[in-house]
Amino acid sequence: MYALYSAVLGVGLLAYLPALLARRRRAGYRGGLAERLGRLGDGLPPEPRCWIHAVSVGESAAAVPLVEGIRRRWPELGILVSTITPTGARIVAERLAGAAVHRYFPIDLPGPVRRALDTARPSFFIAIETELWPNFLRALARRRIPAMIANGRISDRSFRRYRWVRWLMRRVLADISIFAMQTDEDARRIIALGALPSRVVVTGNLKSDLVPAAAGDDPGTWRARLRLGADARLWIAGSTHRGEEAVVLDAFLRARTRCSDLALLLAPRHPERTGEVEALIRERGLAAARRSRLPADGAPGTVIILDTVGELAELYTLAEIVFVGGSLVPVGGHNVLEPAMRGKPVLVGPHTSNFREGAELLQRSGGGLVVGDAAELERALSRLLEDRDLGRRMGEAARHAFAGRQGAVSATLDLVGHHLWPRTRCPAS
């Protein structure tokens, strides 16, 4: 079974290598090739060490409170954090500097996995949000290194995909000591895929325990940095995808006829699409400015494109209204927790399967609105701009709805202490 998986993965990598290399060059994946081949190099944290794997930006953000909690509870542990994307690596470098060492995760083939584990020698392994790599997990089990899924979730799309290979999933999941899942539904799904019920615990979302940071030392400094006027009212459209920016821009143009001091910050989910988004803005006769190179003098009506990584959550603090993307198009939505924790009214589209529980909580609490299409987005935006008290009430409702859901970090650390450290025997291979 594992030989077949490795063969398929290897052939797939070879077949798509030219396209993969081109895409990686565009997305900034040039570095880390040696690490992806399992050569982690020198400079790893001291032993004993734990290895935490976070794919990209969202998982890296979720890892932050977990890493901080491990350092407080077990200061003797060195912490290695791996990612797959360079944007995830940047989050680790910025938010966990001095607390953890970063490396890129090895390709899930026997050679790279063996080399990486020979060098890293972790005492235990934690994967954030259900990262399942069969060869890596099998190698851990053979070395008697316990593994954990933390902040686990199974989206609708992933569940459908995994069910097709349930015969493989059952064997892969047997190599994991404990599953700390976000919701009851996530727990039901991982059990349906083959996890033993006795190993599955619902702990909540690690991101609920993140303490919202102010946007810099002084929000006024950030407003000046973004060239926002003293009276500007900021609308942020975060984590947007192709097909959403045009809708947001059209709503902005119409809203600005009634609210001339409205400003817009667009944050595409994939920064490599910045040029494409810039073209959409200019097609509508608007000025566009990238966050990475804002002009000295901002012009009214300039749309700011957030082309940097790791700043969106902080910038939500400045917003009066937030739209969270990936939800007007069938992507499944993105994290509504970050703006809600900062007391902002949140607008989302109908496609929120990736964050269903959070989106439903916002609706029930009155902290968010679901907009079905472009017309509903425009109406909701206009309503909030006209009734600022409504926006403040919604923001407070959003904040309170999520404030009562903290405790995931403590529950996860308790599971680490019981199942992973001090080192225990992992499930039989």
Q: pLDDT value at position 207? A: 86
DSSP 3-state of 180: strand
The pLDDT of 190-204, averaged and rounded, is: 96
The pLDDT of 263-283, averaged and rounded, is: 95
Q: Report d(CA 121, CA 80) in Å as an integer.
A: 10
Q: Report d(CA 100, CA 110) in Å as an integer.
A: 26
State the pLDDT confidence band at 354, using cuts at 50, 70 and 90: confident
Q: Report d(CA 383, CA 366) in Å as an integer.
A: 14
What is the domain class of 219-403 according to CATH? alpha beta
pLDDT, averaged across the chain: 90
The pLDDT of 402-415, averaged and rounded, is: 90
Cα torsion 84, 87, 89, 95 to 10°: value is -140
The number of residues making up the chain comes to: 429
Say which residue the tokens 């039901």 belong to. Answer: 188
- The first and second tokens of residue 347, run together, are 């607008």
Sequence-ordered list of residues with C-beta below 8 angstroms from that of 385, at least 6 positions apart, any chain:
233, 255, 258, 259, 262, 321
pLDDT at 288 over 80: yes
Q: Closest by alpha carbon to 349, among 333, 364, 337? A: 333
State the pLDDT confidence band at 426, using cuts at 50, 70 and 90: low
State the pLDDT confidence band at 417, using cuts at 50, 70 and 90: very high
Our answer to whether residue 59 is catalytic in this structure is yes
Between 341 and 295, the higher pLDDT residue: 341
Q: Give the range with max mean pLDDT: 138-147, 153-162, 213-222.
A: 138-147
Q: pLDDT value at position 188? A: 96
Q: Residue 105 carries which DSSP code?
A: P
Q: What are phi and psi of 177, to 5 degrees?
A: -75, -40
Q: pLDDT value at position 77? A: 97
pLDDT digits (tens, 9 = 90+) for 238-247: 999 999 999 9
- The first and second tokens of residue 256, run together, are 């600005």
Q: pLDDT value at position 240? A: 98
Q: Report d(CA 135, CA 148) in Å as an integer.
A: 15
Q: Where in the chain is the domain with CATH 3.40.50.2000?
A: 219-403
In order of 180, 200, 270, 326, 353, the CA distances from 183 in angstroms are: 9, 11, 27, 21, 13
Q: pLDDT value at position 23? A: 57
The pLDDT of 148-154, averaged and rounded, is: 96
Q: Report d(CA 327, CA 64) in Å as an integer.
A: 26
- The first and second tokens of residue 386, run together, are 């006209």
* DSSP letters spanning 295-336: -SS--TTPEEE--SSS-HHHHGGG-SEEEESSTTTTT-----
Helix (H) or strand (E) holding 404: none
* Beta strand 346-348 pairing with 321-324: parallel
Q: Where in the chain is the domain with CATH 3.40.50.11720?
A: 2-204+407-419
Q: What are phi and psi of 81, to 5 degrees?
A: -120, 125
On whether the CB atoms of residues 305 and 266 are closer than 8 A, the answer is yes
Q: pLDDT value at position 411? A: 96
Return the minimum-mean-pLDDT range out of 54-63, 163-172, 289-298.
289-298
On whether the CB atoms of residues 382 and 258 are closer than 8 A, the answer is yes
Q: Report d(CA 426, CA 211) in Å as an integer.
A: 33
pLDDT at 2 over 90: no
**Among 35, 59, 68, 357, the one annotated catalytic:** 59
Residue 125: strand pairing partners: 51, 147
The pLDDT of 121-150, averaged and rounded, is: 95
Q: Report d(CA 415, CA 283) in Å as an integer.
A: 53
- For residue 48, whether the previous peptide bond is cis, meaning omega lies within 30 degrees of 0, is yes
Q: Report d(CA 145, CA 424) in Å as an integer.
A: 8
Q: pLDDT value at position 352? A: 94
State the pLDDT confidence band at 58, using cuts at 50, 70 and 90: confident
Domain topology for 2-204+407-419: Rossmann fold (3.40.50)
pLDDT at 176 over 90: yes
Q: pLDDT value at position 273? A: 94
pLDDT at 277 over 70: yes
State the pLDDT confidence band at 165, using cuts at 50, 70 and 90: confident
Q: pLDDT value at position 217? A: 45
Percentage of residues in the chain with pLDDT exceeding 90? 69
State the pLDDT confidence band at 7, using cuts at 50, 70 and 90: confident
Residue 426 φ/ψ region, left for φ over 0, alpha for ψ in the -120 to 50 degree band, beta for the rest: beta
- The first and second tokens of residue 305, run together, are 């494109």
The pLDDT of 240-257, averaged and rounded, is: 96
Dmax over CA atoms of the chain, in Å, equals 66
Sequence-ordered list of residues with C-beta below 8 angstroms from that of 351, at least 6 positions apart, any chain:
326, 327, 328, 329, 330, 331, 332, 333
- The first and second tokens of residue 217, run together, are 């030392």
pLDDT digits (tens, 9 = 90+) for 200-231: 999 999 988 876 654 444 677 788 888 888 88
pLDDT digits (tens, 9 = 90+) for 95-110: 999 999 999 999 999 9
Q: What are phi and psi of 343, to 5 degrees?
A: 75, 40
Q: pLDDT value at position 26? A: 55
pLDDT at 48 over 50: yes
Q: Amino acid identity of 132? A: L
